[in-house]
Amino acid sequence: MKNTLLIFIIFFLFSCTQEDKPKPFEDLIPPDLMEEVLLDMHLIKSMRSSGYALKEYDSMLGDGYFLEKYCVDSMQLVNSKNYYAQSPKKYLLIYKQIEKRLLVLKDSVAELNNRFEKRSD
């Protein structure tokens, strides 16, 4: 009985080893560029879903737009998103920067809106 328990404990300890952290691959999109890509991706997605994008430009606002703009291919983007998803601290830093930039954009739009309203009065 003791041998069975010992074997079970040893098996349990070896089966619970921590996996190695993912290593960056050759074509990994660096965090600063990933921030730019994700920001544009979320802005375009928001514009398309909210109806702010003009229908004439709808085809231009597809995935190909930011892939071409930042010279990345779709597999590179998918692999980079997977890498950062497996490294939550790195991904969180990227999204914190995106959040800061969105707040700046929101304030800029609000300021422009206020200026426009003052001119129309």
DSSP labels, 92-103 = HHHHHHHHHHHH
Distance CA 102, CA 93 (A): 14
Residue type for position 57: Y
pLDDT value, residue 5: 66
Residue type for position 18: Q
Contacts of 98 (CB under 8 A, 6+ apart): 35, 38, 39, 42
Global pTM reads 0.70
Q: For all residues of the chain together, what is the average pLDDT?
A: 81
Question: What does DSSP assign to residue 54?
Answer: -
Distance CA 26, CA 79 (A): 11
Distance CA 63, CA 68 (A): 9
| Range from 2-16, 21-35, 42-56, 86-100 carrying the lowest mean pLDDT | 2-16
51-106 residue pLDDT tens: 665 666 666 667 677 788 899 998 999 999 999 999 999 999 999 999 999 999 88
28 and 82 Cβ atoms separated by less than 8 Å: no
pLDDT value, residue 49: 75
